[in-house]
Amino acid sequence: MTTPIVALAGNPNTGKTSVFNRLTGSSARVVNYPGVTVEREVGRIRLASGEVEVIDIPGAYSLTARSHEEQLAMRAVFGLDGERPNVIVIVVDATQLVRNLYIVAQLLEAGHCVVVGLNLMDAARAAGRAPDVARVQKALGVPVVALSARTGEGFDSLRATLAKVLAEPELGQNRLRFDYPAALEADLEELLPLVDAASPSEARALSLWSLLSLTEEDELTGISQALRTEVRALRKSAAAAGRDLDSEIIATRWRWLDGLRLAVQPAVRVVSMTERIDRFVLHPWLGTLLFVLVMSALFQALFSWSEPAIRATEHVFEWLGDAVRAYSPAGVLTDLIVDGVIGGVGSVLVFLPQILLLFFLLGFLEDCGYMSRVAFLVDRGMRAIGLHGRAFVPMLSGFACAVPAIMATRTLERRRDRLVTMLSLPLMSCSARLPVYTLVIAAMLPRDRHVLGFIPIQVAAMLFMYVFSTVTALSAAAIIGRTVLKGPRIPLLLEVPPYRLPRLPVVGRQMWLRAKSFLTEAGRVILLCTIVLWALLYFPRGPELSKVYSARIDAAPPERAAALQSELATERLRASYGARLGKGIEPVIAPLGFDWKIGVGLIGAFAAREVFISTLGVVYGIGQGDDANGRLLRDKIRAERRPDGPHRYSPLVGISLMIFFALSAQCMSTLAVLRRESGTLRWPLFLFTYMTALAWLASFTVYQVGTALGFG
């Protein structure tokens, strides 16, 4: 027997996800829509009639869809990608009743079996705007249940109602039929044969959906060309006759809703707490100041507050690797387990603290209602680069780490906006670039030079790198949004919810589900790439070198033996496939001022950018325990000379190297998570190609022009 399906739908900010969590509890899990990477939550509940599957459909103001993700939500409602829901629970904000009923009208018109859940009833009563449940039920002709996801009010009644409606589906069906203009009815007759539907009412609803959704700018897929052609012809004909199809459909539905007279006005108009707070939060100057403070705190949290947890994660895996090495026989298998597998798992989990913190903070700010205000405040500036305000937080998060920042683009509604943001934010200088900048500035830039006579050149260089990366990322977003991902500028439509106390269990659960999704999806790719990179820097493993050094190490005193071990590691690295690859690419990177040693470091940096430092340390024969503060490596780099005498790594080489690191896509974790979030290999390849080409051209220009001007 097939398990009945209950779908939860409704407008954003109605508490739909909280209702889902109350219903399903710990049984919920994240799954993908069939054939795509867009996520939805699924859980199970037990009713008097048996077990029922519950799916949480993404929030939508109506069934009209012009983006791919909105289309998926619509297809889930109609069961076009799988089983059709037996019952749809529409979660409605009781404080904004009439505005939330538009989607209810659409579903009733389509002949769906519907139960209306009036959520936030406690808030509606406090504001003097609580609707009469019996009156609403009589007007809509379907069951209506008063709910409060915060307090748990009404959920027993909701379960009982669901059991009853599943047993008698006609209780949830109204089969509305609106009186559209005669010309529109004629248009619908033209479309009915072209849509695939289970019933006449559903065919009519999908025809109306087609007229509203299929436009020149939509991102919808899987639509038959015949249907698109007919809709285009009908729209063109209507425009020529002076008709507005959108207005004809939408206005008819709203006339019916207004005629129900369900709006509730409080006896006395009281300025709410939300309105009083928004006078400050949305103020052009005071609101911007608060925004800067809040974003600075968020940025500080991602950049430094997660550092203890990151260090602890690193220490755990270092300890585990040391323990395995201590109790396992020396050899390739042990090295694979310690450096490849344990090191690879560690390279995945090291991101977990930042991912957890980012999603917790974003969920906290979203749940309390502040993120909608942030989007409103920065929208004007973001529109200049072809995005809207919601893209700002992911871009800002890129300063900490591109991996959680890419995952944070899920808050953007349009796939085009998400892709533009994902393809540009890796240019923001993440925290992994900071150790590289620090090493290069300390080793290659003079300490006694100043800019403008009083700013130390090393300080100015560090500041420049962050300004440079920000300008480059915003410029890239503007260019990509106008070329590769060209699309219309969609105005930001926001429903600003009232301020509420964040529900920590809900925020925490969403945080963990998103983090688990990263570990299970992107983590596998990162682990595989780490093992491949380890193999490149490990093999070939010639026995002759080991024999030579083994005898010398056994005969040497302890302090000399450690130096010989480091020397052996250096010789092995220089003989590895990775080093050969570094020497092989030297002709390509030489015009940038780099030699094969930097080339090996660049290859190692694909595991993580900061690995560039440890790889160079091995190249220069510096043991991990010998250079805790990096002083020896800086000294070795400073002492490097060309055959003709000058320093090998001049300040110009240092600037060229930092420019390259600022612009190149040297982070397999970023590429892996972009592959997961975009659902295709196409965009990671595009990102890697354009960022590598940009990095090479910029470094080439800096080094060659600087050399021509005599700075080399």
pLDDT along the chain (712 residues), means of 10: 86 84 71 52 86 87 73 79 86 89 91 93 84 92 92 93 94 88 92 85 88 80 87 91 90 90 68 78 84 75 73 85 88 83 73 77 81 78 78 79 82 82 91 82 83 79 86 92 78 67 77 71 68 80 71 74 74 81 90 89 80 73 51 79 78 93 88 87 95 96 93 70
**Closest alpha carbon to 14 in 85, 86, 102, 81:** 102
Amino acid in the structure at residue 413: E
Q: How far apart are CA 62 and CA 105, in angstroms?
A: 9
Cα first-last separation, the chain: 77
For 205-229, letters b (16+ CB in 10 Å) and e give bbbbbbbbbbeeebebeeeeeebbe
Distance of CA 216 to the CA centre of its chain: 27
Which candidate, 407, 399, 434, places its Cα nearest to that of 302?
399
The closest alpha carbon to 13, from 105, 119, 106, belongs to 119
* Half-sphere exposure for 100 (CA within 13 Å, toward CB): 28
Superfamily of domain 5-172 in the CATH hierarchy: P-loop containing nucleotide triphosphate hydrolases (3.40.50.300)
Under a CB-based contact definition with an 8 Å cutoff, are residues 141 and 165 in contact?
Answer: no
Residue 26, pLDDT score: 60
Q: What is the pLDDT of residue 33?
A: 45
Q: How many other CB atoms sit within 10 Å of the CB of residue 597? A: 21
The ranges of the chain annotated as CATH 3.40.50.300 are 5-172
- Residue 22: per-residue pLDDT: 87
Q: Within 483-628, where are the H helices?
A: 504-538, 543-555, 558-574, 577-584, 586-589, 596-604, 611-619
